[in-house]
Amino acid sequence: MKYSVSRRSTGLLLAGALLASIVAPTAAIAFSQSPVPSSIPSFATVRAAVTSSALVKTTPATSTILPPLNNIGMWWKSINPHEVTVGHPACSPKDATITIPASPDVNCAYGDLTASRSILLTGDSNATMWIAAFDTWGYLHHWKIIALSHSACTPWARPWLSKTAVLWGGVTVGNCEIFRQNVLTFVKSYRPNFVIPIGIIADTESLKPAQPSQLQAALNSELTDLKRNGGTPLVLEPVPAFALAAKMLACVSMSSTNLSSCEVTTKAVGTSKLNIAYAAAAAATRTPLMATRPLFCGALVCPIFVKLGSTNYLVYEDGYHITHQYSQILGSALDALLSPYVPA
């Protein structure tokens, strides 16, 4: 079946994408087939594909795009045949929930479910979007991946905002802090081998944006808190982000023959407020920083589509999140980032 998108359908496409990203997966949502483990590309292969894809400025044939443009929120199936769930909604709430499930090491587990070694992913929806990649990596390398995330709740505290400020999904800043403390309590009791805090800043007119110094201080505190509670943090370089959440997909729809106007420059990624803060906090706390940029950006720009084999992967679900399918196909590539710090 072929898929297409037009200017007229842009609003519906974007609404569908956002809806798919906020609801728990159910049997009614379509799933992409899990890739064959032997076909999952290495870091070098992905990097080469990103470099060559950055030179292409037209939208590929719709029949080759994954996820399809009319279902960019399509869910993913784990390569682990024993992982029968399609996500753990209670482990990644999107509302005012502030508790974490009992026994997260069992109820919020991905990767190799029987492994004794574990990595905890925690943070907001940007932590959630990385689960598919780490699930693949964990299964291939025999690590359990535990995910405790909450949409709109960064893994760091935000003292520059009122505790009563309401965030996306109805959760407040104060409740996000309670969720963060609950995660720290789990870290202290369970002692995962590594913890990877992942978050994003999506400044809005209704919320006071963090100053660079405030953001760096908040990240410093989070990494210090993790170490104080027995965690060994690792930091992932933030992925490219767009000024407006819907801008990229709307641009693809209207500029299919000139994707240059839709792309983020590689230079802009490196100089973004969040990337600078992550790099500074990692250096200040002596926390390893894993460079993800080669998985997303060529020398000059970060392509919207990355061709691997006969498939053109749509990299972004919206301006702040990568798609499940691109995340999943990065599973082996993660090894180049993790192997200097995580034992085989």
pLDDT tens, 148-163? 999 999 999 999 999 9
pLDDT tens, 167-191? 988 999 999 999 999 999 999 999 9
Name residues whose C-beta falls within 8 Å of residue 109's C-beta, 6 or more positions apart in sequence: 144, 145, 146
Instruction: Please count the structural domains in the chain.
Output: 1
Around Cβ 310, how many Cβ atoms within 10 Å? 6
Give burial (CB, 10 Å; 0-12/13-18/19+) of 90. middle
Taking 60 as the threshold, does the pLDDT of residue 23 lie above it? no
Residue 343 belongs to a domain:
no
Q: What average pLDDT score do residues 17-36 get? A: 59
- Return the pLDDT at 205: 56
Residue 291 belongs to a domain:
yes
CA distance 96 to 106: 23
Q: Are strands 75-76 and 194-198 parallel, antiparallel or unpaired?
A: unpaired
Q: Which of 8-17, 18-27, 75-84 has the lowest mean pLDDT?
A: 8-17
- Which domain covers residue 178, as residue numbers? 10-338
Residue 94 belongs to a domain:
yes
Q: Are strands 264-265 and 305-308 parallel, antiparallel or unpaired?
A: unpaired
User: In terms of pLDDT, which residue wins out, 45 or 250?
Assistant: 45
Taking 70 as the threshold, does the pLDDT of residue 14 lie above it? no
- Contact (CB, 8 A) for 195 and 226: yes
Q: What average pLDDT score do residues 61-82 get? A: 92
Helix H or strand E segment including 118 = strand 118-123
Taking 50 as the threshold, does the pLDDT of residue 12 lie above it? no
Q: Which of 28-32, 59-63, 66-70 has the lowest mean pLDDT?
A: 28-32
Residue 1 belongs to a domain:
no
Backbone torsions φ then ψ of 124, nearest 5 degrees: -100, -155
Taking 50 as the threshold, does the pLDDT of residue 40 lie above it? yes
Residue 2 belongs to a domain:
no
The label of the residue with tokens 């919020």 reads 108
Report pTM. 0.90
Residue 209 belongs to a domain:
yes
Name residues whose C-beta falls within 8 Å of residue 125's C-beta, 6 or more positions apart in sequence: 21, 92, 94, 149, 151, 152, 200, 320, 321
Residue 14 belongs to a domain:
yes
- Return the pLDDT at 28: 59
Residue 110 belongs to a domain:
yes
CATH of the domain at 168: 3.40.50.1110
